[in-house]
Chains A and B, each alone.
Chain A
Amino acid sequence: MADGSIGLWTVPLAVFGGAIRVSTPFLFVSLGECITERSGRINLGLEGTLVMGAMSAYGISYLSGSPWLGVLAAGITGALLGALHAGICSLPRVNDVAVGIALMLFGTGLAFYLGKPLIEPTAPRLPAIDFGWWSDIPQVRAALRVNVLFLIGVALAPILYWAFRTTRWGLLIRTAGESSDAARAMGHSVLLIRLRATMVGGFLAGIGGSFLSLFYPGSWNEGLSSGQGITAVALVIFARWDPLLCLWASLAFGGAAALGPALQSVGVTSGYHLFNAAPYILTLAIMIITCSPKRTLTGAPAELSITR
């Protein structure tokens, strides 16, 4: 069109673009949580890890001038918070859900405290890869400006799926998650396996946070996460602890987040609160459809404190 508008095509394009732009933090946190939960532990603190990751990535990127160093710092921060969670949970009679909630509050609080001086400065951002070179429609080009972290996340999902099924450490994590007695009988330390799984989970969640502050929306402020970390933890249950389903669920959540603003921009203005709530309605609907009082959730690791 002559005026540069693409009319109603905005909606599918925005949902598609939103699936790419918004899904990455969901993807990293849910894959990380998937590893942790498969080892038999729930880390609800990933919301705090996500926010800490976002803050530390922004800070390191600002101070060092290198956004990739920021991503690394976010991952390390996440792994340390994961180690803290696992360490506390290794003590006898500690509830992992309660520790997770405490760490969620600790992580966000610490990030807000340390992040105060980072709200004003502008840090270098991660570069985007332009996959829209073939199109001369600017909207399509903008939707296809993809960050490499998204591609890493997309690649990681099938790799994890394969690794859980066929590799030795995948089997170990699943054993620890399904029956800690079996893992002990095999001569492995369940606590050590869970420590590593929680640290890897934290590492990934931290990287998810770095995407928020260094790519999209692309700056540090205190409302940045608005609950995406905790949504992603719920996503894992929704995805039945399956990394591939985590990928699809994250994409669906990303697309759903873009739906509300996109519909308003083409003139569907009534009920925007409802459209803004789309991701949560989606979760509720799928939970209701798939739940059953007669059996536990399929795919749930038997050692998880919520299924035990």
Chain B
Amino acid sequence: MDFGRISRRHLLQGGAALTLGAAAGVRPAFAADTTIGFIYVGSRDDYGYNQAHAQGAAALKKIPGLKVVEEEKVPETDAVEKTIESMINLDGASLLFPTSFGYYNPHMIKMANKFPKLRFEHCGGLWSDKDPKNAGSYFGYIDEAQYISGIVAGYTSKSGKVGFVAAKPIPQVLRNINAFALGAKLANPKATTQVIFTGDWSMPVKEAEATNSLIDQGVDVLTCHVDGPKTMVENAARRGAFVCGYHVNQSPLAPKAYLTGAEWNWEALYPKFVKMIAAGESIPNFYRGGLKEEIVKTSPYGEAVSAEARKHADDIKAKFLSAEGYAIFKGGLVDNKGKTVIPAGTDRGQKDPELEKMDYLVEGVIGATS
């Protein structure tokens, strides 16, 4: 189906590959005209995850001296290794951004070992000391923005039931669900968050069915963690429910129903990375940040958000931005099976790596991880 890849990489440049291939691999890293490769798992205009990264890539294209090459719909298999190799050998890329979760291990690690002079930056992975030094993983604490969305949702919901359409029960998704649920409970202690897993990142019919089922259960504010939130946003708005967006700002799709949303801010982070490289600094192998570090942001409030909700949400946002920070996952946290997952007295700050291994749903969430 992806005939674009074949024609571009293999036919047009096929001839050049033979001569260029050997030379390009040993190019000194980060010369004056640096080529940066972006790899997306889906379409880069999906109104969601991939589009957020593509917006970051677009910000890099504006910087003189930088060349950006992109490839879409690369599956999380050996295919990504081939893409990385061709970006390096054919396009001379010296900095690579494989942006999907499943690219990290073993694919990107293997490539980082093979090309030790080049730099690999992965979104979402957990870099550890065992991994190559020229590889890094960065991610944003988007659960901070989800927490803000949860607060707004908790105030806006009349039924006290908010809903979450999720793709797969992996730690990042569970962390978002839990943050959203805790935010809703902060606004309304009785609020429950109902979650439906669709099973994959892009399943429009399942997402629409999940949205309808949640609304049939009395849910009146919804958010999601799937690659393209467009289906959920449009279908929920049609049924008269409110929505909180994800990945990018979806308010143009449903201006009246859109409350706020958790957005990535890659267009701020990627130029920062490039500046660090240009200045000769090294990017920390394990790079994380939230609202304060401008890696994530929240969408502007919609008209349906009450003054009370705005004030509470803004207060919490100010705490996230403050020097001491704010812990969403505080001690004494119980999961929805009644087990204590964070013992009383030990707050888990945002940077706590334990949170990136999350495998539970907190009390107040209706749903199960398996």
Contact = CB atoms under 8 A, between A and B. Distances in A.
Interface of A: 3-6, 10, 13-14, 17-18, 21-22, 105, 108-109, 112-113, 116, 119-120, 122, 139, 142, 216-219, 221-224, 226, 228, 257-258, 260-262, 264-267, 269-270, 272-273, 276
**Majority secondary structure of chain A interface residues (helix, strand, loop or mixed):** helix
10 contacts: A3-B160, A4-B218, A5-B161, A109-B3, A226-B203, A257-B206, A261-B206, A261-B213, A265-B217, A273-B199
Interface in B193-230: 194-199, 202-210, 212-218, 227-228, 230
A270 to B, nearest CB: 6
Given A109-B3, A266-B217, A221 B228 contact: yes
B47 interface: yes
Contacts of B214: 265
A261 B235 contact: no
Interface in B318-370: 366-368, 370
**Majority secondary structure of chain B interface residues (helix, strand, loop or mixed):** mixed
Contact of B202 (A216, A223, A260, A267): A223
Interface in B297-322: none
B239 A119 contact: no
A109 B43 CA distance: 12
A228 B367 CA distance: 28
Given A4-B218, A261-B213, A264-B197, A221 B1 contact: no
Contacts of B215: 139, 142
B131 interface: no
Interface residues of B, number: 49
Interface of B: 1-4, 42-43, 45-47, 73, 159-161, 194-199, 202-210, 212-218, 227-228, 230-231, 234-235, 238-239, 252-253, 366-368, 370
Nearest to A258: B209
Given A3-B218, A217-B231, A226 B213 contact: no
Given A120-B45, A122-B253, 7 more contacts: A3-B160, A5-B217, A22-B209, A122-B252, A217-B208, A222-B43, A272-B197
Contacts of A112: 1, 43
